[in-house]
């Protein structure tokens, strides 16, 4: 047999952009490794430069970046990091997206609109990504936008465990803030032992972003502690209106549980003054000091979920098994 034969070892390397370094460090610690050191800075004209300080040839690269504000800057840095790894001869590049920027723009509501979530997937593919790993996409269909494997992680196990520990002995109901997320609410219901479901019927003006009107509660919530579940809290208007509608319909109390704490604009003020008993989120996005100061806010770490998923991908295991076959 001709040629040179050598059995090579797989090499997992974790990389982080500058958007949310604390989360990436948590993930690296959980994996028992270190973040690869790199040089990253912004030129005077706002262009971004990135260079890794170690060889990445032949590695299994996991590039973590949360698309927090300023979203476009951190997306661009993420793309540049992927390109640097591709040109540095990384063997496989997995883009880790605790929060997928532009995920809400996943379809056209009116003519002449973009589908920006698809554009994001195309950009990462062009940059050199082999795989995407994301947490709680706004809609599951985004998985089909990327031409390659997509691992869709869910924060449900982490959030629901907190709810069970703190409210498991109360009379519960799971509430979706709109009819479109009722499937996720069903998974929550199963996780909490088959508690009743409800949803908020609301209307939204497509010409006015971040604004909606909660019309009525559909389902039985009277006398129950309502677990109001959503994928993200942006300006807080929708979720606070939903909580108010539940209390007016006779709910005993409301606990808000959401994965992504965007908290833009008046969100913190609205949540602080809301009827919600507790607001439970994860750290897929950086949480400001002002938000941390909010008494009713509880922040759970998503790092254990990300680190386990990364290990499953690296060792050719099963990510789906982490979510009872639903991922």
Question: Is 79:101 a contact under the CB 8 Å cutoff?
Answer: no
- DSSP state for residue 251 in the 8-state scheme: -
Cβ neighbours for 213, distance < 8 A, ≥ 6 positions apart: 202, 203, 204, 241
Residues 6+ positions from 122 with CB-CB distance below 8 Å: 145
Nearest Cα neighbor of 221 from 192, 245, 193, 190 is 245
CA atoms within 13 A on the CB side of 173: 27
Q: Which residue has the tokens 């997937």?
A: 121
Report whether 271 contacts 279 (CB < 8 A): yes
Distance (Å, whole) CA 230 – CA 104: 13
Length of the chain: 327
Catalytic-labelled residue, pool 108, 125, 171, 202? 202
Buried b (16+ CB within 10 A) or exposed e, 172-204: bbbbbbbeebbebbebbbebbeebebbbbebee
DSSP helix/strand/coil, 22: helix
d(CA 283, CA 263): 12
Residue whose C-alpha is closest to residue 129's, from 279, 15, 23: 15
Q: How many degrees, rounded to 5, is the angle at CA 73 between CA 67 and CA 79?
A: 75
Contact 42, 23 (CB under 8 A): no
d(CA 156, CA 324): 11
252 is an active site residue? no
Residues marked active site are found at: 202
């Amino acid at each position: 047999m001709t040629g040179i034969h050598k059995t090579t070892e797989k090499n997992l390397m974790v990389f982080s952009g500058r958007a949310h370094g604390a989360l990436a460090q948590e993930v690296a610690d959980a994996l028992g490794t270190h973040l690869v050191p790199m040089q990253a800075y912004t030129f005077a004209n706002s262009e971004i430069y990135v260079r890794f300080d170690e060889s990445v040839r032949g590695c299994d690269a996991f590039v973590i970046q949360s698309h927090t504000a300023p979203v476009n800057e951190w997306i661009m840095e993420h793309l540049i990091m992927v390109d640097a790894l591709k040109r540095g001869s990384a063997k496989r590049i997995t883009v880790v997206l605790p929060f997928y920027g532009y995920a809400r723009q996943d379809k056209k509501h009116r003519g002449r609109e973009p589908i920006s979530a698809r554009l994001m997937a195309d950009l990462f593919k062009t940059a050199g990504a082999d795989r995407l790993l994301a947490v709680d996409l706004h809609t599951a269909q985004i998985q089909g936008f990327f031409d390659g494997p997509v691992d869709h992680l869910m924060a449900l196990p982490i959030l629901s465990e907190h709810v069970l520990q703190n409210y498991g002995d109360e009379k519960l109901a799971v509430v979706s803030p709109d009819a479109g997320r009722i499937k996720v609410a069903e998974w929550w219901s199963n996780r909490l032992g088959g508690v009743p479901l409800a949803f908020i019927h609301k209307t939204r003006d497509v010409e006015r972003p971040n604004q909606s009107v909660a019309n009525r509660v559909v389902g039985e919530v009277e006398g129950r502690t309502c677990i109001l579940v959503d994928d993200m809290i942006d300006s807080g208007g929708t979720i606070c209106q939903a909580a108010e509608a539940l209390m007016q319909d006779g709910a005993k109390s409301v606990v808000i549980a959401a994965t992504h704490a965007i908290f833009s604009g008046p969100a913190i003020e609205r949540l602080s003054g809301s009827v919600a008993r507790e607001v439970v989120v994860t750290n897929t996005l950086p949480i400001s000091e002002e938000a941390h100061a909010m008494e009713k806010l509880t922040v759970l770490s998503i790092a254990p979920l990300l680190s386990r998923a990364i290990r499953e991908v690296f060792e050719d295991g099963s990510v789906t098994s982490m979510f009872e076959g639903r991922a």
